[in-house]
Structure 1
Amino acid sequence: MTNELTALRENWTEVEPPSADAQAKARAALLNRIADQARPAERTKPRHRRLPSWAWRTGLATLTAAAVAAGVVAVGGSGQTPGEQTDYAAGGSVAETFELAAATAETEPFTPPRPDQWTYVELKMVRGKIAVDKGQATSETTRSWQRADGLQTADLLDGKLQVSPETTEIPIVMPPRDYPTLAGLPTQPQALLDWVRAKAAPGKTDHDAVPYSLISAMLRDNVLPPSVKATLLRALALIPGVTRSTDPVDFAGRPAIAVGMVQDGWRQEDILLDPTTHEFLGSRTAVVKDYTTPEGVALKKGDVEVELVRVAGKIVNAPGQVD
């Protein structure tokens, strides 16, 4: 695992942080919003297409329906034991953390894509014991493209670009991947959370586990308008049971804030944010209770079974293009 993590560090593509002016505006927006609110707990609530091939190849479909639906796959340990999380006091609560991330997102420069352009997302995946048990690679880079009108997709599989046939109408999938659907999502956090809940898998006993994973996947797997990204982050703050790490965790060789929730009693789905800019970095699945998978793989508390690092997200002119 050391070699894979080293490779991640060596191949990490640094993202230029927001300007000082953008960060100042984000912090000012956060302080203004907090000043207008009481404590987070007392706030008034604001008014199938197939999964990508790489998602199925992770070998983690047996973990949970939520993990599969959201593309959440499970990785080597960090400096902090997963699950050791707490709500911060005033100045560092979960709500304030997501609000700062949302305010920062609102300052990001963005030009909506033309219908004939494509959104490109690159992820670095590091996998743990389940992948080893199945003889799979413990590290992988995935590159995928989605045409902005939602009628065509492409993936780089085994070094070859595979472009799907063009459809005549936008496929209905959850979480959505097409830009028209994403750009048309509700702009109020509570309304957006209600929409995701209504679309989540029916019959799930843990009502908010699937919505949480779906929102995480929407942030990770798409190129979003700033207003949509900000609303998704604020919607996460409305989900009960979400907690924040007491200290920064190690995420692919860099510090990160982990904000997550325990699901199914044994695993924690974390969203990782930059501790300085609060930019979304990726996600991970951590083991918070000893657990044996249906295949007999023994997972131990403290294991991080998957890290998904968002390396790039941008608008390009054609599938296969990365710049």
Structure 2
Amino acid sequence: MDDLKLLAELRSDTPPMTTETARLARARLLATAAEAERRTVPAHAGRAGVTRRRLFRVAVAGGLVTAAAATGIAVAGNTEKRTDHRNPGPGVPLRGTPVANVVDLADRAAQAARTRPFTAPKPEQWIYIQTRSAPMADPGEPNGPVASRQRRTTAQWIRADGKQEATVDSNRKLTIDDLLPAEPRFDYPYLSSLPTDPDRLLATLRASADEPVGPRDVAVFSNIGVFMRNGLIPPQVQAALFQVLPRLKGVQLVRQATDAAGRTGVAFAIIEEGYLRDELILDSRTYRYLGERSIVIKNHVSHGDDGDLRSRKGEIVQWAAQTRIGVVDKPGQRP
């Protein structure tokens, strides 16, 4: 029998390959080739210089005050059980194979996000977020480097309807305030309204990145970092956000990056102004968001009305880790 005819008969009962299946098959092939050839991806990729750092300060504005230190490092979905990041749980794709490229990372992260259990919070519930970060070395210079050997733990509760926030001061006093307007928005009603189609989502994010100081796609990258850091994102939206990232001009893969909690993962990254690399760090096994780091990759002088800012290669200007996120019934509770 003709070989091609035999092959056709053998495949007659096989359903056609979907776009997603083809993409994952290609990712596996690229990953295998990458492992065989031991290729190295350049480590230059970062995010939004002064713009990025300003957005970081705005995003956490509202009273994140040092809270009691966490008793263990955890990263959870929106369940009320503590989840150890070393125990990835179900739904993790391609485990044990190296990430081939930034598109492969996006596909893996999106697939993992879609498979995670998720229950939408009720409007009257609260979203708890715990962050571990390195404080500024000089509080008088907010755009300068962080004190890389110091850490602080902060806690914040945001009402799921986006109307209120709560913080705890150094005396453990709980304060509830109206949630102030933020740009970009990161409240749950807004995040849950975003398109789940990556192309539509990219168009939406580019349109909403008003008056960026740098390139518009750098502003979009920065805004996605704000969403990941300060919001509870529905799985389908988070999957689309991951798939938006490699569509942004200049986004690259960093194979190894460490968050402020000491966890090492893989990162999306972009470079701003040729000297600052900003990284969105994911767990390399579960592809959960871990944190962010902005690192100076070459000496640079930024000129401003209030003087020059000198950045030296190797300085870290932002370093944070999201150590816990979950849904609780009232402010002051912890998942």
Determine if the TM-score, normalized by the shorter chain, exceeds 0.5: yes
Answer yes or no: is 1:287 the counterpart of 2:287. no
Gaps of 5+ in 1: 1-27, 41-62, 74-89
Equivalent AA in structure 1 for residue 192 of structure 2: A
Answer yes or no: is 1:204 the counterpart of 2:220. no
The equivalent of 1:178 in structure 2 is 187
Kept in 2: contact 1:133–1:297 (CA 8 A): no
Offset, 1:66: 3.3
Structure 2 distance, partners of 1:221, 1:29, is: 32
Of 94, 119, 128, the residue aligned with 2:127 is 119
Answer yes or no: is 1:66 the counterpart of 2:52. yes
Deviation string 1:122-153 (CA, Å, 9 cap, x unpaired) is 11011454459679974221211111111111
Gaps of 5+ in 2: 1-17, 31-48, 61-97
> Based on CA coordinates, which of the two structures has the bigger radius of gyration?
2
Answer yes or no: is 1:97 the counterpart of 2:109. no
The equivalent of 1:233 in structure 2 is 242
Structure 2 distance, partners of 1:64, 1:270, is: 15
After superposing on structure 2, the runs of 4+ consecutive aligned residues of structure 1 that deviate more than 6 Å are 132-137
Go from structure 1 to structure 2 and tell me whether the alpha carbon gap of 1:133 and 1:116 turns closer, same or farther (over 3 Å shift): closer
Kept in 2: contact 1:130–1:297 (CA 8 A): no
Equivalent residue runs for 1:20-169 within 5 Å: 32-35=22-25, 64-71=50-57, 92-127=100-135, 129-131=137-139, 138-158=150-170, 159-165=172-178
Answer yes or no: is 1:310 the counterpart of 2:296. no
Offset, 1:155: 2.1
Kept in 1: contact 2:110–2:239 (CA 8 A): yes
Equivalent AA in structure 2 for residue 235 of structure 1: V
Q: What secondary structure is seen at the aligned counterpart in 1 of 2:100?
A: coil
Equivalent AA in structure 1 for residue 175 of structure 2: Q
Structure 1 distance, partners of 2:204, 2:165, is: 25
Query: Cα RMSD (Å) of the superposition?
Result: 3.2
Offset, 1:208: 1.0
The count of aligned residue pairs is 252
Which has the higher mean CA deviation after the structures are superposed, 202-211 or 189-198?
A: 202-211
Equivalent AA in structure 2 for residue 117 of structure 1: Q
Go from structure 1 to structure 2 and tell me whether the alpha carbon gap of 1:97 and 1:232 turns closer, same or farther (over 3 Å shift): same
Structure 1 distance, partners of 2:257, 2:108, is: 19
Kept in 1: contact 2:186–2:226 (CA 8 A): no
Equivalent AA in structure 2 for residue 96 of structure 1: D
Q: What secondary structure is seen at the aligned counterpart in 2 of 1:208?
A: helix
Which has the higher mean CA deviation after the structures are superposed, 63-72 or 302-311?
A: 63-72
Kept in 2: contact 1:187–1:231 (CA 8 A): yes
